[in-house]
Amino acid sequence: MELQKKHDRIILGIDPGSLNFGYSLIQQDGSQYTLIIKGILHLQSINDQIEKNKKIFEFLDELLRTYLFDEIAIEQPVYGKDAQAMLKLGRVLGCCVGFAVSHKIPITEYLPKNVKKVITGNGNAAKQQVAYFAARILKTPLESKTYDDTDAVAIALCHAFNLSGIPTMSSGRSWSQFIKNNPDRIVK
């Protein structure tokens, strides 16, 4: 007797930060997406970067034990004017990649512009717009003060769309063709 899988996949979305670490888990069942949890791991009180990374690693380990997620999607840092801040962000990213590799979980990086384009249709959308459209996709309110957690939701959704073959900015497929081929997936 074969066990039935209850969902297609659970995706952990990460908006990495050395002060505010945004995270979300979404469950994908076909073309349905459900928010499991979202939040922010606050790291401002930890001064040592190694201790911050340890806290992040332990937090991710606890999430994995609790929710058994299948994939990780993370925002890729682009550039920054402050070299020290970028170094800290790079260490956080390295910690997340190390976690994924050590647990044999696929991890994919997404540029912020690509996430915004996929979720809102505009690669230059404001964080508030990204949160608004992610909430519409999930059919649930997404309130946030800093948008680190709603950005993580958008990153997870972007990954789910990518895995489902929904057109993304870099896929070369058009939205008009997707709509024509998939009228049942259009949110009204």
Quick: pLDDT tens for 31-60.
899 999 999 999 999 999 999 999 999 999
pLDDT of 169 higher than 70: no
**Residue spans per domain, the chain:** 9-185
> Could you tell me the pLDDT band of residue 181, with boundaries at 50, 70 and 90?
low
Residue identified by tokens 């190390």 is 98
Give me the DSSP letters along 116-149: HHHHHS-TT--HHHHHHHHHHHHTS----SSSHH
pTM here is 0.84
The single residue of 75, 109, 149, 151 carrying the catalytic annotation is 75
CATH number of the structural domain 9-185: 3.30.420.10
Does the pLDDT of residue 25 top 70, yes or no?
Answer: yes
Q: How confident is the model at residue 165 (pLDDT cuts 50, 70, 90)?
A: confident
Nearest residue to 131 via CA among 101, 97, 140, 123: 140
- The structure tokens 């309110």 sit at 141
Residue pair 184/133 in contact (Cβ under 8 Å)? The answer is: no
Cα–Cα distance, 127 to 73 (Å, whole number) = 18
Establish whether 15 is a catalytic residue: yes
Q: Per-residue pLDDT tens for 65-86?
A: 999 999 999 999 877 778 888 8
Confidence of residue 188 (pLDDT cuts 50, 70, 90): low
The catalytic residue among 48, 109, 143, 148 is 148
Banded pLDDT at 8 (limits 50, 70, 90) = confident
CA distances from 72 to 46, 53, 106, 112 (A): 25, 17, 6, 15
* Sign of the dihedral through C-alpha 29, 97, 81, 20: positive
Asked if residue 185 has pLDDT above 80, the reply is no
Would the pLDDT of 172 be above 60? Answer: no
Of 15, 71, 109, 149, catalytic: 15
